[in-house]
A and B are shown apart, each in its own frame.
Chain A
Amino acid sequence: MRNKSLLLVLAVCGCATRRPAPPNLTPSDPRPLHSVSVEDGAEADILVQTLKLEPLQLLEETLYFAAPPDALARLAEAGYDTRPASRMQVEQRVVRAYGGREEEILAAGAQLINRERGYRVVRGTLAQLRTLERLGTRLTTIGWNEPRPRLVRVFVSRAEDVGRVAALELDVHGVHQAGTRWVVEAAAFDVQVDALRSAGFTVEPVHVPRRSP
């Protein structure tokens, strides 16, 4: 009896610790953030290595970084135009969103990654996610295995379209011909499945049987 009670307590504690907590929507670093335009990743790599910049992210052609004391001056000497950036506008979180509507998520500028039972997995900047909270969406942290893609098969009629499928950043596991069609086996999030279907591709989920141990 005592053992059963102990197990019950442990189970309750386990559930409690696994309950998703609200996400931290404050910047992770108090230091000022800067940005600079670069041509490509190679140039960003040179700057990071040479000036010991601490990169937050390279988005398109803009490198966001925290800088050691003399780095901004050295960048200016080299002809770079550095600008202050807002961490609220740059730092992102991936969260669970309970309630609300998909239109609100998209209108806030956030990205809907996956639709799960009872909630959605959303990615947005700190500012975008705060907007969603103000609209009444409850946000929590994601689970340890989230977001996870689903295995899918994408059917295309021409070999050239395989490249179009891959361009949507799917994790392509294989491509093979089946009759007159090409089959792309890949892992994809709902946002990618939506994009594939919008582009006119046929997408079907793949069931992977669990192998006995």
Chain B
Amino acid sequence: MKAPTAILLAALLLPPPAAAQIDFRRFHTPAEVDAELARLPTRFPSRARVVPIGPSLRPPILAVKISDNPDVDEPDEGDVIFIALHHAREWIAAEMALYLAERLLVEAGTHDEVRRDLDRVQVWVIPVTNPEGFAFTQRPPDPAVTDPFQQPRMWRKNRRDNGDGTFGVDLNRNWGYAWGGDGASGSTYSELYRGPVPFSEPENIALRDFLNARRNLKAFVTYHSFAQGFLRPWRYTVERAPGESTLASITRRSIDRIRGVHGRTYIENLGVVSSGNVVDWVWGEKRVAAFTVELRPPEATGSFDPDPAEIIPSNQENYPAALALIHDAAAREVWLRDHVDDSGAEPSATWTETGWTRAFWESPDIWTVPEVPVAGTRVTLNVRGAERFRPTDGERHGPGVLGGPKHLAGVPVALLKPDRRAHRHGANRGKGGDDTVDGPFGWQPLGRAPLVRGSGGEARPRHASTPSQPAHATQVGADRRVRQWCRRAPRRFRESGDSRTQDHPHPPYHHG
């Protein structure tokens, strides 16, 4: 063997040095995914930590936390969560999650904007949410089985023993929002088996509890394959979700960003529904922007076992969309309701130089949940891009001044008077002309967390104490359960158990 060949072979066979980047030219095994995750804190000690989610699970679900302060939970910073491999056979999804984590960490050291964003949010990346199923797909193929679709590589569910001879629950049909509806199955043998009851699966319980523990969740993405789609709630019905215009705005912007990399056009709709999925739960229960991304290959010609050459372009094209979500979540604004009938279920509009916009980063009511908008409460605003807020009626009547310098922090504002331009875009539109209707119309502060000036001079959010908070329309799912519970259950059920129920409108169950 010639010396150069030997050196080349040795380079290929030897384990990579600690600082080496992850090799995305092939799929990683479960052990390799875990090993690469474990290397991230070593490679980026000031930014990354690996945290077990549901540590009692065997194997555990591992998350990498990416933040400016990874050892400390900072609830004043937003949380953005990316998960993958809910379905065992969708290996390319785990590759995307790994790539996202690594590239964020690399760019935190090379790109100022990424670093600034990561200073303001906690990003959690969970590459494998179905570890048992993922391990099962690694089994060697059975030579006696001729149909490749019937090999372990194509396993979709987890590996729950259903007790009837079959195995597995579809983890993305087992979530508690609209569980049991269309696009899922009650048959244990089905690929879409939803489980015996909602949240029957330990993997989902662990993930649900983790999500519930995030008090400032701002965005959620779950990576799947295949079909090349960027899908928004609802997924359980063809009906539009509350906040459709905002969700659609994010979706289309993301699709544009994806297309801008390699020219692939992702679709918005698969044409079928799926109940009990995670994004509906996140949106339905928490009103946090949640999306399912179906990665490569395209649906017409693809499969769950794509050519490994698809991994890198798939990762590359999806990164900018993920980065944009993180960037938006990192922006610290208090958002305004644009009219009094704005329940928070629809996004606010914001005045710009050219008119009212519903652009996501300017009016996401969705950022406000789980806190409830409080009409009339005095808040302190931190307005990004305040030069866009030109004089309005509201500005004149508010104790604070909207407008003025960029990053205007610490300006107190109370309930604002009616604004005619808001009127045109509001609930009374078309009911009497633009400027003729007077009445209970105006902006209200809609503070997820009223911002107060911290000792360091930087505006920091503070959770509001609002004993008379109105019911938030975004908690419809939870409210329905509360009503059900109140109708059936005696009061002492609600008062017993978890002490949190004493001052919490929810009964003692874990729905967020």
Decide whether A and B are members of one complex. Answer: yes
> Which residues of chain A have a CB within 8 Å of any CB of chain B?
23, 28, 39-46, 48-50, 55-59, 63, 74, 77-80, 91-95, 111, 113, 121, 123, 141-142, 145, 147-151, 159, 162-163, 166-167, 169, 171-176, 185, 187, 189, 208-211
* Cα separation A209 to B273 with both chains bound (whole Å): 29
Dominant SS among interface residues on chain A = mixed
- Taking a contact as CB atoms under 8 Å apart, the answer to whether A41 and B299 are in contact is no
- Taking a contact as CB atoms under 8 Å apart, the answer to whether A150 and B490 are in contact is no
- Taking a contact as CB atoms under 8 Å apart, the answer to whether A172 and B272 are in contact is yes
Dominant SS among interface residues on chain B = loop
Min CB distance A141 to B, Å, is 6
- Taking a contact as CB atoms under 8 Å apart, the answer to whether A208 and B164 are in contact is no
With contacts A92-B188, A142-B165, A208-B303 taken as known, whether A49 is within 8 angstroms of B493 at the C-beta atoms is: no
- Taking a contact as CB atoms under 8 Å apart, the answer to whether A166 and B191 are in contact is no
Residue A23 contacts which of B165, B273, B302, B304 (CB distance < 8 angstroms)? B165
* Cα separation A77 to B488 with both chains bound (whole Å): 9
- Sample 12 A-B pairs with CB under 8 A, ordered by A number: A40-B179, A43-B488, A44-B198, A59-B186, A93-B165, A142-B166, A159-B271, A162-B272, A169-B190, A171-B192, A174-B270, A211-B305
Min CB distance A146 to B, Å, is 8
- Taking a contact as CB atoms under 8 Å apart, the answer to whether B198 and A45 are in contact is yes
* Cα separation A173 to B272 with both chains bound (whole Å): 10
With contacts A41-B176, A148-B150, A150-B149 taken as known, whether A172 is within 8 angstroms of B270 at the C-beta atoms is: yes
Residue B147 contacts which of A94, A95, A169, A208 (CB distance < 8 angstroms)? A208
- Taking a contact as CB atoms under 8 Å apart, the answer to whether A28 and B163 are in contact is yes
In the complex, chain B residues 142-194 whose Cβ is within 8 Å of any chain A Cβ: 142, 145, 147-152, 156, 163-166, 176, 179-180, 182-192
- Taking a contact as CB atoms under 8 Å apart, the answer to whether B273 and A166 are in contact is yes
* Cα separation A106 to B376 with both chains bound (whole Å): 65
Which B residues touch A175, using CB under 8 A?
A: 270-272, 299
Which A residues touch B110, using CB under 8 A?
A: none
- Nearest neighbor of A177 in chain B, beta-carbon distance: B300
- Beyond the given A145-B151, A169-B192, please list 11 additional residue pairs across the A-B interface where CB-CB is below 8 A: A40-B179, A41-B176, A41-B197, A42-B179, A45-B509, A50-B497, A56-B196, A78-B489, A171-B190, A208-B149, A210-B148
* Cα separation A63 to B238 with both chains bound (whole Å): 28
A-B contact count (CB 8 A): 156
Min CB distance B25 to A, Å, is 16
Q: Is B398 an interface residue (CB 8 A)?
A: no
Interface residues on B, range: 35 or more
Which B residues touch A41, using CB under 8 A?
A: 176, 179-180, 197-198, 276
Min CB distance B172 to A, Å, is 12
Which A residues touch B27, using CB under 8 A?
A: none
Residue A166 contacts which of B183, B188, B497 (CB distance < 8 angstroms)? B183
- Taking a contact as CB atoms under 8 Å apart, the answer to whether A91 and B183 are in contact is no
* Cα separation A46 to B156 with both chains bound (whole Å): 28
Which B residues touch A163, using CB under 8 A?
A: 238, 271-273
- Nearest neighbor of B302 in chain A, beta-carbon distance: A174
- Taking a contact as CB atoms under 8 Å apart, the answer to whether B196 and A169 are in contact is no
Which B residues touch A172, using CB under 8 A?
A: 270, 272
With contacts A42-B480, A45-B199 taken as known, whether A79 is within 8 angstroms of B149 at the C-beta atoms is: no
Q: Is B105 an interface residue (CB 8 A)?
A: no
Which A residues touch B165, using CB under 8 A?
A: 23, 93-95, 141-142
Which A residues touch B302, using CB under 8 A?
A: 174
Q: Is B481 an interface residue (CB 8 A)?
A: yes
Q: Is B510 an interface residue (CB 8 A)?
A: yes
Which A residues touch B507, using CB under 8 A?
A: 46, 50
Smallest CB-CB A-B distances: 7 pairs: A174-B299, A41-B179, A171-B191, A169-B185, A166-B272, A148-B150, A175-B271
Min CB distance B249 to A, Å, is 25
- Taking a contact as CB atoms under 8 Å apart, the answer to whether B191 and A187 are in contact is yes
Min CB distance B13 to A, Å, is 19
